[in-house]
Structure 1
Amino acid sequence: MSEVPNIKVTIDNITVEVPAGTSILEAARKIGGQVAPPTMCYYSHLKGSGGKCRTCLVEVSKGSEKDPRPMPKLVASCRTGVMDGMEVKSMTSEKVTDARKGVTEFLLLNHPLDCPVCDQAGECHLQDLGYEHGKEGTRTEFERRTFEPEDLGPYIQLNMNRCIMCFRCVFTAEQLTDYREHGILDRGEHARISTCISKSLEHDFIGNVIDVCPVGALTDKTFRFKNRVWFTKPVDAHRNCSNPKCCGEVRLWMRGDEVFRVTARKDEWGEVAVASNGKPGWICNECRFEKKSTKDWVIEGPTNINRHSVISQGHYDRTVHEAQVELLAEVIGKEPVMKMDIHDVSDVNKPNVHLSMIDGPAHSEDFK
């Protein structure tokens, strides 16, 4: 059988080749950076995820080479496949930017402003989304949905006030465990995540629901209120786990010599990274909750953290930032320029001198 040729798709003026059947989102992730739409419900390792939060909306300005007509509405990139010759706008579309602002406002409709006391603060996807696309104020006039905190066993705490109903935890429990004890109860605006008759979640791999949760709805009871994530230092480590389904490759969050928590390793999209065996790097409860000493692990070295993350604390990889600058130049089709025009706020500077034209940092001598 002859191989099916790759499909060419252009996203924000950047052309990439992907196999047939690839979604727009996965094609955008091959380009990387801000071209890739944000996601709150899609998870590449979970079957059936995506299509619920609508944060990954994009504009398809050209359907394909055979049918160049644009799609009449914005589409969910995680559920829309690419076509040969398709042209997509993500970060370069005003419609998409406006839609993401609306989706962000909708997701924050019932979400409490408790970031100062939430253990997810500093690594929360909704926090990042709100910072990039949220508004300063709220138009909400009605009371928010409120729930009492719920224990889901000895290791997991559920705070439904923060839940955005992405269903990631439900898919994780259904696909990683032998049986699922929790799910969606009720319908419509009364829908909530809970267990039937207050059952406990105690499966060997149930701790992974904490890693997939994009907000602070599911938190680690062994780490709650013990430290702030930006005060800890992430370190990659591994061990020979007795559980054959566990990859044994983790991330230790340390402060000094003390291990405060253990999580699975994450990739640049906030998903569980692929392990050395080529499979998703899920870890078992023993590695996550019980191995809290450095003697239990083989330390590989500090984790490379994106410089834009609050967790970086000066130990980031500078090459990530340099790659972002090069990508931005390719998206806008020219060298990046400063968007601020100093002449709009000052009448004493030389009208022929622009910040983007200065070689190096600007000094007072440049604007006399």
Structure 2
Amino acid sequence: MEDTKPNVVKITFDGIEVEVEAGTTIMQAARRIAEADGTQAHLVPPAMCYYKPLEGTGGKCRACLVKVAQGSAKDTRPMPKLVPSCITQVQDGMVVENTTNPAVLEARKGVVEFLLINHPLDCPICDQAGECHLQDFAFEHGAAQTRYEEERRTFEKHDIGPYIQLHMTRCILCYRCVYTADQITNQRVHGVLNRGDAAEISTYIEKAIDNDFSGNVIDVCPVGALTDKTYRFKNRVWFTKPVDAHRDCPTCKGEVTLWCRGEEVIRVTARKNQWGEVQDFICNTCRFDQKKTSDWVIEGPTKVQRSSVISANKYRADLVKKPDFALKLASSQYKAIDDSRPYVTDPDTIRQQSVENNDKANHRSLLAENN
């Protein structure tokens, strides 16, 4: 029996050539570049609705628009409009412009503006703050001011089940939660109701979401529209310590991230990859009922990206790497520390050196004023 090798195509993404299998989307090709070289992670288009583990997602938020400057090697004409990279498949010889195209960056500013039209400015009280994809998207591509003057739409908060609260005012209608409930459960009772500016995520005839995997809609939500009622207003994510853990669970794989405050487990979530996507969905028993460290086998600290606010005050050389620009800035503007100097602990010596240093500083100030 002959071996069938996958059909490989070559594309150029922001000047970088990469070979991928036929049928791969532009988004996945960009992620392939970043996975091979971590310094190129900024080239990957943002994604608010696309979620690789869920079939059918993508093409709704238009956050990942890119310019196809050359359709393929056979047809070198550019595509007339910007295309969503999450659902557009690559062609051999395709040339894609992302961060190098001004029209793409300008379009993303418009997308951010539309997403924020009705989104409330309640980041200071939102439990999603610090791990919100909309925050990251707005920071990277948004404007500091808004042109919107009309009244924003608002909705009442709803409890959809014993563990989940829906704050529809924050929702951006990415449909991720709907696809999650459709594909990993057999009892979906919620979806998008109504149309236009009246569209909202809601439960049919006020039914509750109470299946074993319903809590996963919290993890896939890119904003703070679906939150964990057992965690609401308990802590900020940058004050907690995430650790990887697992347990023998008959329902799911049992591999999670524990968010600890001291020795207390205040939240349990599914593990996510570098793109913020769940690797393996977990059951409600692991998420809501197992809140003791004795219930879990602790594997070690969760690897957190250096740029994430979650890593605040938790930097470790073996987990995160300092960015090159910070090292270059430090070497150009600050003197290197002389580690050969003796480590002084005597209070009298420290006090005397402090007086001498102050006298030197005052002397330099007088010289600067006289000159």
TM-score under structure 2 length normalisation: 0.84
Q: In the alignment, is residue 8 of structure 1 matched against residue 10 of structure 2?
A: yes
User: Of the candidates 264, 268, 283, which is equivalent to residue 262 of structure 1?
Assistant: 268
Percent identity (aligned): 61
1:361, distance to aligned residue in structure 2 (A): 1.6
Q: Max radius of gyration: which structure? A: 2
SS at match of 1:311: helix
Q: What letter corresponds to residue 331 of structure 2 in structure 1? A: G
- Structure 1 partner of 2:146: 138
Q: In the alignment, is residue 47 of structure 1 matched against residue 46 of structure 2?
A: no
Q: Unaligned regions of 5+ residues in structure 1, if any?
A: 274-280, 326-335, 339-355
Distance 1:187 1:5 in 2: 42
- What does the per-residue CA deviation read over 1:22-62, in whole Å, with 9 as the maximum and x for residues that have no partner? 00000000112011100000000111100000000001111
- Structure 2 partner of 1:21: 23
Q: In the alignment, is residue 248 of structure 1 matched against residue 250 of structure 2?
A: no
1:3, distance to aligned residue in structure 2 (A): 2.4
- Structure 1 partner of 2:333: 362
SS at match of 2:256: strand
Q: In the alignment, is residue 85 of structure 1 matched against residue 93 of structure 2?
A: yes
1:236, distance to aligned residue in structure 2 (A): 0.1
1:304–1:315 contact (8 Å) kept in structure 2: no
1:5–1:19 contact (8 Å) kept in structure 2: yes
1:68, distance to aligned residue in structure 2 (A): 1.0
1:172, distance to aligned residue in structure 2 (A): 0.4
Q: What letter corresponds to residue 19 of structure 2 in structure 1? A: E
The structure that is helix-richer by fraction is 2
- What does the per-residue CA deviation read over 1:68-125, in whole Å, with 9 as the maximum and x for residues that have no partner? 1111111000110000111111111111110111000000000000000000000000
- Structure 2 partner of 1:101: 109
- Structure 1 partner of 2:79: 71
- Structure 2 partner of 1:345: none
2:304–2:320 contact (8 Å) kept in structure 1: no
- What does the per-residue CA deviation read over 1:238-278, in whole Å, with 9 as the maximum and x for residues that have no partner? 000021xx1100000001100000000011100012xxxxx
1:4, distance to aligned residue in structure 2 (A): 3.7
Distance 1:38 1:214 in 2: 12
1:167, distance to aligned residue in structure 2 (A): 0.3
Q: In the alignment, is residue 163 of structure 1 matched against residue 171 of structure 2?
A: yes
1:306–1:316 contact (8 Å) kept in structure 2: no
Pairs within 5 Å for 1:148-227: 148-227=156-235
1:318, distance to aligned residue in structure 2 (A): 5.7
2:304–2:319 contact (8 Å) kept in structure 1: no
TM-score under structure 1 length normalisation: 0.85
- Root-mean-square deviation (CA), in Å? 2.0
1:59–1:74 contact (8 Å) kept in structure 2: yes
1:135, distance to aligned residue in structure 2 (A): 1.1
SS at match of 1:7: strand
- Structure 1 partner of 2:70: 62
Distance 2:323 2:21 in 1: 25
1:197, distance to aligned residue in structure 2 (A): 1.6
SS at match of 1:169: helix
Q: What letter corresponds to residue 187 of structure 1 in structure 2? A: R
Q: Unaligned regions of 5+ residues in structure 2, if any?
A: 35-40, 336-371
SS at match of 2:331: coil
1:304–1:316 contact (8 Å) kept in structure 2: no
Q: What letter corresponds to residue 293 of structure 1 in structure 2? A: K
